[in-house]
Structure 1
Amino acid sequence: MSAPEDLPVVSKLAELAALVQRHRGLYVRWSLGPEPDMGKVSSTDDLTGVPMPGLSANPLDVEEWWQGRSVELWVARRLYDYAHLPHEKGPGVRPWTLKGRETGRGPDNEPLVVDVEPMCWIADEVIDEARAEVARQEREWGPLRRFGR
């Protein structure tokens, strides 16, 4: 895995959605960033301490069942579910986008990714946009209760 020194920053939800439309095999990872992850290329199960064969990440590819709905809304939904991680995992944890190859699944059924190519940081403003976009769907989607948020 190689990390460019100046990883670009995506600052709009629409910009991240456009990236997802252009590239398949993208994931979002919530960590201290590519640089600290480069030495590990492995995540650890928080509960057991067992090392896993890849970095835990969440897929951004639009699923077929989404059936033509907004890619922007899809990406917002994907970010929304894990936006609590910086609070839980501690200072400096932030989201970044990567390309990679799945090598297995973690204990929460999340993909474990190897052959990682960092793409960009995701700015806090994008997470704020994602939260607002998902909140706007509450009447159509039902209650969006998440613990710790």
Structure 2
Amino acid sequence: MPVIRSLDELTGLVDRRTGVYVRWSMGPAADLPGLASRDDLTGIPMPGLSANPLDVESWWGERPLRLWAARRLYDYAHLPRVKDGRVRPWLLLGKENGRGPDNEPLVTDVEPLGWVDQVVIEEATEEIARQRGPWGPLDRSPRRGHAA
């Protein structure tokens, strides 16, 4: 599978194509045979793979597409740490078949497009760090001093 090696390359792909999703997992070889994610809380199988769309929402307006792409990656960059170190982001095309418990799209008819290199995650993190507002990934893992 091809590898996306820069945030600019990812931004170009998002600019040229619609219907692209990012999925954080061990990859298509692990996901495609069963084509179902499981709800982490209940273990219930869901009708598709949980993924996040990279299509730009209309409310984003004329803001930089590079920042949009960075944020979409950064929001879930904690997953390798909290789930499994082998979890990596990869891009896919798919058909939305419902929503998961976090309101994430569940996709079927998956066509893998490519891996997202770790360097792209690092560039996304740098891009987010340059923003004025406080922001962090959607990390739900318990932290010291916080109730679980």
Per the TM superposition, whether the score is higher than 0.5 is yes
Deviation at 1:108, TM superposition (A): 0.5
Q: Percent identity at matched positions?
A: 62
| Structure 1 segments unaligned to the other structure (5+ residues) | 1-6
1:46-97 alpha-carbon deviations (Å, 9 max, x no partner): 0000000000000000111110111111000111110000111112110000
TM-score scaled to structure 1, two decimals? 0.90
1:144 aligns with 2:138: no
The correspondence for 2:58, drawn from 64, 68, 80, is 64
1:127 aligns with 2:82: no
The code of the aligned residue for 1:75 comes to A
1:83-114 alpha-carbon deviations (Å, 9 max, x no partner): 00011111211000000010000000000000
Q: Do the aligned residues in 1 keep the contact of 2:94 with 2:108 (CA within 8 Å)?
A: yes
The correspondence for 2:111, drawn from 103, 109, 117, is 117
Return the alpha-carbon distance in structure 2 between the equivalents of residues 124 and 50 of structure 1. Answer: 30
Matched residue SS, 2:125: helix
Q: Which residue of 2 aligns with 1:12?
A: 6
Matched residue SS, 1:43: coil
Query: Number of paired residues?
Result: 140
RMSD: 1.2
| Structure 2 segments unaligned to the other structure (5+ residues) | 144-148
Task: Summarize the alignment of residues 81-96 of structure 1 with structure 2, pairs less than 5 Å apart.
Answer: 81-96=75-90
Return the alpha-carbon distance in structure 2 between the equivalents of residues 8 and 145 of structure 1. Answer: 29
Matched residue SS, 2:86: coil
Q: Which residue of 1 aligns with 2:35?
A: 41
Further displaced range: 104-113 or 86-95: 86-95
The code of the aligned residue for 2:68 comes to W
The code of the aligned residue for 1:29 comes to R
Matched residue SS, 1:21: helix
